[in-house]
Structures are given as C-alpha cells and as structure tokens.
Amino acid sequence: MPLKPSSVAMRALVFLSLLIALPLTAADYNEWQLQALSSSITDLQQKYPDDYKGQDYLARLKALQKAGTSSANFQAKLRRLKRDALLAHPLLAGQSIVAIKVTMVKRLTKNDSNSMAAIGLPETHLSLSNYLNAGAAGSIVKLSSLGMKEKSIVPARPKTLIADLDLHWDTKRLLFARPHENSWKIFEIGTDGSGLRQVSKNENDVNVYDPCYLPNGQIIFASDAPVQGVPCWHGIEKKVANLYVMNADGGGVRRLCYDQDHDMQPSVLNDGRVVFNRWDYTGMNRLFNRQLIAMHPDGSGQKALFGSNTWYPNSIYSPKAIPGSKKIVGIIGGYHRSSRCGYLAVLNPSRGNGGKKMIETVVTGRPGKHKEVIMDRLTENVFPKFSHAFPIDEQYALVSVRLRKETMNFSICLADVHGNVTMIKTDPRHSYLKPALLRERPVPQVLPERVDLSKDSASVYIQNVYTGPGLDGVPAGTITKLRVISYDFGYPTLAGVDKIGMSGPWDVMRVIGEANVHKDGSALFQVPADTPIAFQLLDDHGQALQLMRSWVTAMPGERMSCLGCHEDSQEAPVPLVSMALRNAPQQLQDCFGPPRGFDFGREIQPLLNRNCVSCHDEKQAPDLRPKAERKNYVGREPSYLDHTRLNDAYKVPFNGKTIIPYTPAYEALVPYLRRVNVGDDVSMLTPGEYAANTSPLIQMLQKEHHGVGLTTDDMRRLYLWIDLNGPCHGRWEDVFDRAPLGNVYDLRKKYRSLYGSKQKNMDEIHKQRYDDSPKAVSPPKPHPQLTGKGRKQKTISVDVGRIPFPGGLDIPLRRIPAGSFMMGAGNSLRDEGPMTPITIGKGFLMSSTEISNAQFRLFRPGHDSRYYGRRHLQRSDDQGVTLNADEQPALRVSWDDAQAFCAWLSKKIGKAVRLPTEAQWEYACRAGSEQDFFFGSLQEDFAVYANMADRSFADKGITGKSKGRELFVVGGDAEMLISEGRQFAERRFDDGKVVTASVSSYSPNAFGLHNMHGNVAEWTRSVYRPYPYREADGRNDPGAEGERVVRGGSCYDAPRRCRAAFRLGYPSWQRVHNTGFRIVIEDE
C-alpha cells in the first residue's frame, strides 16, 4: 500500500521543483521531471520484474502526461506518483533506516559553513577536533517504515554532537563518535538501543572519530594523535587527523597513515580494501588535490584510487562501495565553504584513475547536463546539496540533502542516477545526517596481513620506471638513480608556507638516500617504514627529471611494488624477471650524509663560502656571505596569512613584527631557482619540467660564471637543493631558533611511541664534511669584440607566401638571403665566444612566426602547452594564465617533437622542412645588426619589438593583502613571496603581456621575422658545442649526440637572456617549459 507522507514532507517536496532559477520554462521543467521518473520506473521494472509493479506506475504516469502539465493538481499528482513508485524499490520498501538527528541552530554568520560545522559538517580544512564544545545536540534515531515512525537509539545531550555513524554489515550494531570527558571518543551500540559501550581508550589530550568496522573485526578510525597542524592555519591550533586501527576492545592501536593533512571518512570496499579521502598540498595547488586513497586494512598497499593529478573535481567525499558492484558512490565537493557537500556521483574504478574518467554519473537533482568548473568554492551555492550517501544499488542511494539555500536543515531522500530526488524524512527543526539502510549486506573478504611489526623497514620494487606517462619521451637508460626523500610535517603551533623556505616548501624536506636504477628501468630497495616518502628520478648528472609531489607510506615489513611512473591503476604488470629481481633489495646509499632535514646553512652555504663569497660580498651583489657575517640581517615579512595567523610569541624577538628569519644568502640566491614553489600545477608534471637545468642559477654555473668551476659534487648538491623545492631550514626548531610552542614536540614523541610507530627521529644535526675555505677565482677575460658597421638593414627579405593549412592556419614564410655576419658576442660568457665570422652561403625560407598551438595541433591534436600557474588574471582559483590559445606559440615541445613536425610537414608539402641551424637562426635574428638585439642595445625600449620579462610580467596579476608589499595570489588565498624571474624583470619597459603573445605580435625585424627575441625560446638544429662555430664539424647533423641549442629567450626572461648571442642547451627529449620552434626550408 502506498505510504502517506507527512505534511512537512509534502511541503518540502514542493521545494524540489523550485530550487534554483533555471533557463527553462515551467513546461520544460515538468517534462524533465516526467522523463526522469519514467526512466527510473522503467529501470526498476527491468531489474525486478517479479517484485516491482512497474506497469501500474507507468500507466499512472501515462495518464498524467495525457492530462498535460497544465492540468489541475498536476504537481501534487506528480509528487505522489514519484513517492509511490520510487519508494517501492524492492530493496527499500518497508525497510528501516538509522541516522544521526541534530537539533538545528540559528544561522551563525553569513558564511553557512560555520552553521554547517555546528551540526557536524565541518569545513574541509578542519576536523571534529575543532568542534568539541561548539556543536548542536545530536542523537541517533531509527526510522521505521521509511520514516513514518521514529525511535531514539542514542538520546541527545545538550550542545553535544554525534558524528560518524557506521553501520555493521549485519545491521545489529553501529559505531559513532561524540565528545566525552573533554575529547572525542568512539562508542558502539546495538541498533535496538542496547549494549552502549565506549570502544576507544584514548586519553583526553587526543581526539578520535570517523570509526569504521573492518571485516576482520578490527576498527579503523581517525585521530589527531599525529600532533600535526593544518598547514594553511600557520600555527593556529587546527589539528590534523590521520588513520589508525584498533581491536574491537579498543586495544592494539597502531597508526596506519603518515599524512600531511586530514585523512577522513574511511569505508570498506567490496574487495576488502579501505578507501578514504586524503588531502595533499606538499607541492600542488591544495584547492584541487584531495585524493581517494585505497589500502589494505593493515595499512599496506596505499595507492591513489581517484584524484591524482586531477583538477576536477576538487574532492570526492564520503566514498561508499555499492553492494554487489565494483563501483563507488561519493560526493563531489569543492574546497572552501563546501562542508564536504555537493553533487552525488557514481565512480567506476575499472575506468582507471587517470583524470576524471572514473566519474560515471553526476547527479545534481536539476535538469540539464552537469557543468564541470574548475574553482575553489565549487559547491558553495549548489542546491540541492547532497551530503553522505548510502548506496542501495548502482542507480539508487539514500542521501542526506539540504534542499535550498534559505533553509539549513538536511533531509533524508532517495536519489537516483536519472535525476530524481524523492523525500523520505524531513523536519525544519532538525537535520538528518548519514542515513543507513537496515538491510543486511555481505561482509567483504578479509585480506591477509602483509605487515611484520618486528621490522622497521620495507622494500620497494619498481618494475620499469619508463612505464606510464611520468617519463613520456625520456629515452631508456636516462634514469640512473632514484632518490628517496621524506617530509617532517608541521606542528599545531607552527606550520605552513614561508617557514621552511620562501613560498615553499610547506614542510621540512628530508633526504633519505639513493638507489641505483638498472638499465631495464627496474629497481628494488629498502626504505624506512612508517615514514612518508617520495621518489625522485635522477639522470647521470644527479638532477631529478620527474618529481613525486606527494608521498606514500610503507608499513613495517611490507613489500611495496609498482609498475612504473604514474602508470594507470588498471595497467597489468608484465610477467618478467627484471634485473632488479636478480639481487637482494639495495640498502639506500647516503646522499652527502645520513638521513636528515636539508638545511641551506649546513648544506649550501659552505659551497658558497668556498666558491662565491670572495667576489659576492658587501661590494658585489648578490651578497652571499654567511649569516654570521651579516650582523644587521633580520629576515623578511612573509605573506598575509602569517600576519594574521602566526602566534604572537614568535613575533617577540622582532618587536612584535611578523618576520621569518632565513639566511641572507638564501634570500639572495632563491630568485635564481626555478622550482615547484607553492600552489603548483595539479596536472602531472612534464618530464624535466623542473629539472635543475631550467634554473638560471645552474645555467649560469654551467657557463662557468666568472670562472667559477664547481666540482661535480658541488653541482649535485645544488641539484638536490632545487629538487627539494629550495628549502632554507632543515628542522622546525631552526625557524625561530626554538621548539614550536607548547608541548607539541613531546606529545608527538609520546604518541609515536604509544602507538607503535617505527618512524625514526631525523632531527639530529650532521655537520657536512666540506672544506669551505675560499678558493682563488680567476675571472675569464672577455672575448674580443669584433665590430662591423653596426647598422640596421631596412629591407633585405621578401614575403614568399605561405604553407597552406585549413582554417586560416597557413605558415607565413620569408626569404632570408645569403650573407655574412659576426656570430657570438664579445663578453666573458664562455659559450658566446670567440666571435666568429660566418658566411651563410645559400639563402633559405624561414617561417616569419613561431609555430602556433593551432598549427602544431594539426600534427599532434592533443598537444597541451598548459597554463602559467604563477599568475592569475581572472580568478585566483583558476589554473592560471593560459598558454593554450590557438594563436599562442606551441611550447613544451621537445627537439624530437619539433623534428617530427618537420618530417610530417616535409611529406605534406614535398619539400625538406627543417629546424634552422644555430648560425641560420642568429643570422636571421640579427638581420644585419651587430648589437644585442636587432633593434638596438640592452638599454633600448623593447616594448614594440619583443615580449620579454617586463613591467607587466613583474606586476600584473591578482595580488594579496601583505603589509608593505604586493604579492601574487595563487590557489585562492596563498600569496607568493617570490615568483620566478620577477626580480630580474625590466620594469622600465612594458610590452603589455604576462605570458606568451600571439606569434605574429610585435614589430618584425628587417627580415620580416616576428618574436626572434622573447615570447618563446626556439630550438635549433645544432648540438650545443663550444665556439668557434664550425659548420662542418657535425654539430648540425640530426643524428649527432649531445644537447641541442635553444635561442632567443622567452617572455619569462630578462632582456640579457634574450640577446641574439645568448645560448642554452637542453637534451633533445626535454619538453622545456618556455621553448617552441620555427622552421626553415633551405634552397636546393
């Protein structure tokens, strides 16, 4: 017999059709409701032909459609039919539900997230630890006959929340958390209201919550026992919760996860693994990097299930396995002001974990296709706003829903993939959260233990580092070592960006050691257990070509394995015995010392003392002398959030000012690095994206800056510093020369010991064995300046047409005549001289512009030049300033890619298309000029001729609220203390662009060529070899070994790096962040 809804429920049903202003007519909206209901009825009839009276409901629906949407009582009849038809689901009809019932509070502020937290739905960057005494009265109720009868199981207490209901598979008992004796505790009770007991035995200085039954009888839960602080709170005590496991009696507690930020909402998948939500922001934009992690219940096998390197969606909250399926339901939510609520989603892990392809269905409860948007507050104004989902099958789930913005209460509804949201229980004075159906479910399989608690290490096996997209394009054999690093995460009273280093890294960066990678790409090595570790893949120079901007933790005795670098989770291993498996696991080799926190003063300053300070002192900027010799050095002001959130006790030594003390040499040298920084690209990095060879510091030293020839070990130390994101301090106590406030040091050690952690203390200072006595440096003599007439030629080339492409994408060509010029420059840079007279014996055609994104995509349709994430012009929570527009030059193109484009185009037009030789490029660039640029000297205003680092690059972008300076904002609210290249921008001039401009922008040179200086650097055919330049020495042979020359500089480069003579070299496989190309066709 159809259920009769309460009058309150009926009124709430009316709201479902009035939730949001839609660009639809009333008739269109009604038609959508009819279609959604028809789809659900048909689906249920097909799935349950013997138990569901679908024909009866379809007949009623047909009659309603025939009467028309304008007929009397249409909406009332539709609502009645929807409830009758959908709540008759054979797995739901007549069943009971348990849920948390919370007394509603008045709206606390205009920001709804505060009111949501008060009923047990905290902001994503906070945990229940922050809501011990600030909650509404909560109880647990049993709703019989789908909400018609209500019985209290756990009575309410004044101002005492109840959270985290987890129903056992047998439906006879459940777990929940609530405050008791000044901390959150975990309790168990029977669903009939009997047998209430406290399970957890935690002391009152820590909190426990988020309990979840495990198939083996144990309980997994979250606790703030790690004694870590949420990084973005900078020392305001907002505690981080990680996952632990305990026995059913509350004993045997052991920590499973060693994560930077919150682990939350664990649940068990049907295959026996645990899935939970984890928040990362070690090196990526934290607004978009909240992953679903899956692991065995013993903590082994921790791997990303969804969200790795994914911009959309920001998060998947409350993941739950669908009974009898491999699929999962969850809630798509944003970061700020989402309260872990948003859209309902069905995820299919069999699709793989790359990008958003796992998302199978998104339920919005509204007509129209779901729109994907990359933004911080993704679901702040989304209504209906779904909270926790309890799946019934692959199409239907019980959900807690806030129906509209005007009301704060959450109701229990049935939602389905067709778009229907059907009311079950509502009450304007209460919210119903975390509903669970009292229907017995199969217990997932019990997975075997893979942990040996007698050991303090684990082994890692990588079958082939070249498997997967992480090293796409990198030739086999390039990777020779793998570096293992770790993190020491911040404390509740001291955490956040700008402490350990300027605008990154977030945490203390620890060096563990290195392992050899075999020629077949395999590696097998030991790592410390219970330690958050990350891997960096090194070439034979010691620079990292790919960075793991996250971490993984191995349990004691675990044998961890992976196929390669960022391989898809669905990719099967290849059955083979690799070279690594022929030997026992390697012990990690020391990396200039034992495992330790990397500290600039202890690791890099001695190198500077020996090689640099004899010149770079108070008389010659940058001053690289050690801190002890800079008596007046204090430090510098950090970004805005430190001004508002840093504890005042840390300001006392600075007369109440907010100051972060680094070292003077560190501050001076960091601007010469290109590194991950903070708030970086969420997408997987292009191989070599932040390789040390892209940093101006390394490029200068490779040119033997002022005669300084560093040793191989010195260079490797610098590579290590850059690969670690340029830290200054190696311990948290080094930041302010004191331990973090409070007893947090001792408390962290207490709970590591109490809960059986094998994590080792790496805070001991190890003095580096290094002779830092200054050595004599003999600056090289400048190359002789060979001068000519020094005049600019007016017109010496002709437009000879275009290479035709569809859609107006023709490549314009200019004829460059034969001629002679002086190649190189008369300066002290080793690789720009000696100047050499060069004759270009034959004329050639050259594209007057760089190859654009649109043109390159005709060859490679999926090419992605990406974004420049260091600036935001529209919104601070977007991906950055685009580099992907059709008319912008293609960049992140390797020399190999450019060669392949030339080969493809050659076949297309029947002529030999090539990259220009280095001599051809410089000759064409100069166009008769012997000065720095075709238009004049370094002192010349370049704004009409070239796109280089200028006033726009230095100053344009969304800035923050810092006192005394304007800093760029990334990731919604995180300000940048430093942005690569900004300090060296030529602010006298303004070319109007922050990033790359259209390929035809700016005035051409006398040969009619655009953007020969700046915009993007350009590949040449030539191998990067010393001068004098010799055409016949094989350097222009495409098969010759060695790095290839890049010319012209880019929009990120200061003018001196865009000169006609300036040279750099990169490996032919490297897709350099600022490098593209143009083409030539030589006369036959």
Q: What is the pLDDT of residues 866-920, one digit of tens each?
A: 999 988 898 888 999 999 999 999 999 999 999 999 999 999 999 999 999 999 9
Query: Residue 181: in which H helix or E strand, if any?
Result: none
User: What contacts 927, CB < 8 A, 6 or more positions away?
Assistant: 792, 793, 796, 797, 934, 1005, 1006, 1007, 1009
User: What contacts 354, CB < 8 A, 6 or more positions away?
Assistant: 308, 309, 568
Q: How many helices (H) and strands (E) does the chain have?
A: 16, 48
Q: Is the pLDDT of residue 780 over 90?
A: no
**Model confidence band, residue 735 (pLDDT cutoffs 50, 70, 90):** very high
Dist. CA 946–CA 991, nearest whole Å = 7
Q: Are strands 523-528 and 457-462 parallel, antiparallel or unpaired?
A: antiparallel
Q: Are strands 457-462 and 559-562 parallel, antiparallel or unpaired?
A: parallel
H helices within 500-631, ranges in order? 600-603, 605-611
Please tell me which residue, 801 or 416, carries the higher pLDDT value.
416
| Mean pLDDT, the chain, integer | 91
CB-based contact 555:453 (threshold 8 Å): no
Quote the percentage of the chain above a pLDDT of 90. Answer: 74
Query: Residue 301: in which H helix or E strand, if any?
Result: none
**Model confidence band, residue 282 (pLDDT cutoffs 50, 70, 90):** confident
The conformational region for residue 46 under phi > 0 = left, psi -120 to 50 = alpha, else beta, is alpha
Dist. CA 727–CA 486, nearest whole Å = 13
Nearest C-alpha neighbor of 1073 from the set 510, 555, 677: 677
pLDDT of 838: 96
H helices within 50-179, ranges in order? 54-67, 74-86, 112-118
Joined together, the tokens standing for residue 50 give 């013997």
* Range 462-475 average pLDDT: 95
**Model confidence band, residue 107 (pLDDT cutoffs 50, 70, 90):** low
CB-based contact 334:325 (threshold 8 Å): no
**Model confidence band, residue 18 (pLDDT cutoffs 50, 70, 90):** very low
Dist. CA 869–CA 888, nearest whole Å = 16
Dist. CA 865–CA 871, nearest whole Å = 16
Dist. CA 224–CA 262, nearest whole Å = 9
CB-based contact 418:36 (threshold 8 Å): yes
Q: What is the pLDDT of residues 48-100, one digit of tens each?
A: 999 999 999 999 999 999 888 888 888 889 999 999 999 999 999 889 999 99
Dist. CA 538–CA 561, nearest whole Å = 19
pLDDT of 104: 84
What are the structural domains of the chain?
7-86 (no CATH), 97-437 (2.120.10.30), 451-779 (no CATH), 798-864+887-954+984-1082 (3.90.1580.10)
Q: What is the pLDDT of residues 1026-1060, one digit of tens each?
A: 999 999 999 999 999 999 999 999 999 999 999 99
DSSP state of 723: H
pLDDT of 708: 80
Dist. CA 974–CA 44, nearest whole Å = 49
Nearest C-alpha neighbor of 16 from the set 343, 367, 429, 332: 367
In angstroms and rounded to an integer, the radius of gyration of the C-alpha atoms of the chain is 32
CB-based contact 666:600 (threshold 8 Å): yes
pLDDT of 146: 78
User: What contacts 1054, CB < 8 A, 6 or more positions away?
Assistant: 948, 949, 981, 984, 985, 986
DSSP state of 839: E
Q: Are strands 1017-1023 and 1075-1076 parallel, antiparallel or unpaired?
A: parallel
Nearest C-alpha neighbor of 401 from the set 416, 322, 735: 416
DSSP state of 1014: B
Dist. CA 520–CA 513, nearest whole Å = 21
> What's the distance, CA 1060 to chain centroid?
37
Q: Which range is least confidently modeled, 283-297, 422-436, 926-940?
A: 283-297
Nearest C-alpha neighbor of 362 from the set 313, 414, 303: 313
Question: Under DSSP, is residue 691 helix (H, G, I), strand (E, B) or coil?
Answer: coil
* Range 278-304 average pLDDT: 90
Burial 373-411 (b: 16+ CB within 10 A, else e): ebbbbbbbebbbbbbbbbbbbbbbbbbbbbbbeebbbbb
Q: Is the pLDDT of residue 19 over 70?
A: no
**Quick one: angle between helices 74-86 and 26-47, nearest 10?**
20
Q: Is the pLDDT of residue 136 over 90?
A: no
Q: What is the pLDDT of residues 816-834, one digit of tens each?
A: 999 999 999 988 789 999 9
* Range 954-963 average pLDDT: 80
Q: Give the Cβ contact number of residue 822 at 10 Å.
A: 18
Query: Residue 108: in which H helix or E strand, if any?
Result: none
Joined together, the tokens standing for residue 339 give 């309260």
Dist. CA 426–CA 430, nearest whole Å = 8
Q: What is the pLDDT of residues 301-353, one digit of tens each?
A: 999 999 888 899 999 999 999 999 999 999 999 988 899 999 999 999 988 77
pLDDT of 265: 96
Joined together, the tokens standing for residue 540 give 């034979």
Q: Which range is least confidently modeled, 274-278, 304-308, 931-935?
A: 304-308
